[in-house]
Amino acid sequence: MSLKRICVIDGQGGGIGAAVIKALKAAFGESVEVIALGTNAIATSQMLKAGANRGATGESAICWTVSTADCIVGPIAVTWAHSMLGEVTPRIAEAVASCRAMKVLIPLSQEKVEIVGVVKEPLPHLVQAAVEGKIKEVIHDV
């Protein structure tokens, strides 16, 4: 039986992705494979330091690897072209949005977008809700 593959995508400083990976590792240990996908090398490095099993950087790596994922986790902006100060290319946004994997998106964004009906919570609370709620469900159902 192969491990479930969770791809964590982040950009800029990698702080959201690092927080997600720490929580994933605390919840699932080595029973899942966590792949850090950074839009830049700093983000990938921070996610690897947080405990990802492997990591890759850039558009090509992200677009290829999400097609192999069981679950994708990241800020909602990974599905928006030109978000994260332009780090999310149209090709990345399309690859993430159209791949077969379940997407667990954290409603944090520096873009001028307001998602109505979402309660504003601190990052640690959002990460806990993602890991303990939806990702646990996805890992057991996949």
- Position with higher pLDDT, 141 vs 86: 86
Q: Which amino acid is at 24?
A: L
Residue 62: partners with Cβ closer than 8 Å, 6 or more residues away: 9, 37, 39, 56, 92, 95, 96
Q: Quote the pLDDT of residue 39.
A: 97
Q: Which amino acid is at 87?
A: E
Residue 141: band (very low, low, confident or very high) from pLDDT cuts 50, 70, 90: low
The pLDDT tens digits for 73-132 are 999 999 999 999 999 999 999 999 999 999 999 987 677 888 888 878 888 888 888 888
**If we measure between CA atoms, which residue out of 116, 85, 121, 86 comes closest to residue 106?**
121
Homologous superfamily assigned to 4-141: TPP-binding domain (3.40.50.1220)
User: What is the per-residue DSSP string for 74-137?
Assistant: EEGGGGSTTTTTTTS-HHHHHHHHHSSSEEEEE---SSS---TTPPP--HHHHHHHIIIIIIHH
Name the CA radius of gyration of the chain, rounded: 14
Residue 113: partners with Cβ closer than 8 Å, 6 or more residues away: 80
The pLDDT tens digits for 24-71 are 999 999 999 999 999 999 999 999 999 999 999 999 999 999 999 999
Tokens of 84: 């994260």
